[in-house]
Amino acid sequence: MKHIDTSTIEGMEKRQRVKFINSLPGFKSLNLIGTVDGEGATNLSIVSTVTHLGSNPPLLGYISRPPSVDRHTLTNILETGVYTFNQVSASIYQFAHQTSARYPKAVSEFDAVGLTPEQRDGFVAPFVEASSVKMALSLVETVDIPANGTVLVIGRITDVYLDEALLGIDGNIDLEKANTLAGTGLDGYFRPHLLERLPYAKAEGDR
């Protein structure tokens, strides 16, 4: 096996290092975050750091880069207290990827990339119409990460929208049937196929 040590990592060209380090966690979730500012202007951005924090209460987190430069998404979330996560599916990944371009604040990524915003049940933040699994979140707290100035943004899931056929009686959502994709690095889009579902693991003697 090849050994890549700290000095090799530090010696990598910047974009090469970014892709390398972004490959190390493995496959990543892909979501679009929908927000709106105080004037009603919408914003949409792809994120690969959405992580489960707990089921009761139902909390998800994502990592926002340092707020030293203007992060439209985080600014909008702090302003309105609400946002949406929309899973990236096979039919929209190219549009989703394009939201990572640096658009000026006055430009809505919905318009710029060609995705249709959707209002649901009076929720202030926009959903992505074409996404197969989408959810409304209410900001709980932001947690600063001293190590590199990033911010963990924590929200409580208040509403979920999906096709009824995707929801199993055990609570699992069939993400393969939903055509949800996984990502690697900053540029890879993958379609996962089920190998197996395994039963709850028990130690010998455990009941």
Residues between 122 and 161 with contacts to its own copies, criterion CB under 8 A: 133, 135, 140-141, 143, 145-148, 150, 152, 154, 157-161
| Shortest Å, Cβ 77 to its own copies | 15
Output 95-103 pairs: Cβ under 8 A, ≥24 positions apart.
96/30, 96/32, 96/46, 97/46, 97/187, 97/189, 99/32, 99/44, 99/45, 99/46, 100/45, 100/46, 100/186
Stretch that binds its own copies, among 33-41, 69-77, 165-173 (CB under 8 A): 165-173
- Told to check if 21 binds its own copies by CB under 8 A, we report yes
- Told to check if 187 binds its own copies by CB under 8 A, we report yes
Closer residue to its own copies, CB minimum distance, 38 or 50: 50
Collapsing DSSP states into helix, strand and coil, what is residue 80?
helix
Closer residue to its own copies, CB minimum distance, 75 or 185: 185
Closer residue to its own copies, CB minimum distance, 79 or 101: 101
| Shortest Å, Cβ 154 to its own copies | 5
Q: What does the alpha-carbon distance between residue 175 and residue 157 come to, in Å, rounded to a whole number?
A: 18
Collapsing DSSP states into helix, strand and coil, what is residue 74?
helix
φ, ψ (nearest 5 deg) of residue 84: -125, 150
| Shortest Å, Cβ 79 to its own copies | 20
Per-residue contact flags (x/-) with its own copies for residues 48 to 67, judged by CB under 8 A: xxxxxxxxxxxxxx-x----
Per-residue contact flags (x/-) with its own copies for residues 105 to 124, judged by CB under 8 A: --x----x-------xx---
DSSP code for 92 = T
| Shortest Å, Cβ 10 to its own copies | 8
Residue from 35, 43, 76, 87 touching its own copies (CB under 8 A): that is 87
Binding footprint of its own copies, residue count (CB under 8 A): 112
Q: What does the alpha-carbon distance between residue 188 and residue 27 come to, in Å, rounded to a whole number?
A: 9
Beta pairing class for 58-64 and 31-36: unpaired
**Which residue has 């202030």 as its token pair?**
124
- Told to check if 71 binds its own copies by CB under 8 A, we report no
| Shortest Å, Cβ 86 to its own copies | 10
Question: Would you say 92 and 17 are in contact if contact means Cβ atoms under 8 Å apart?
Answer: no
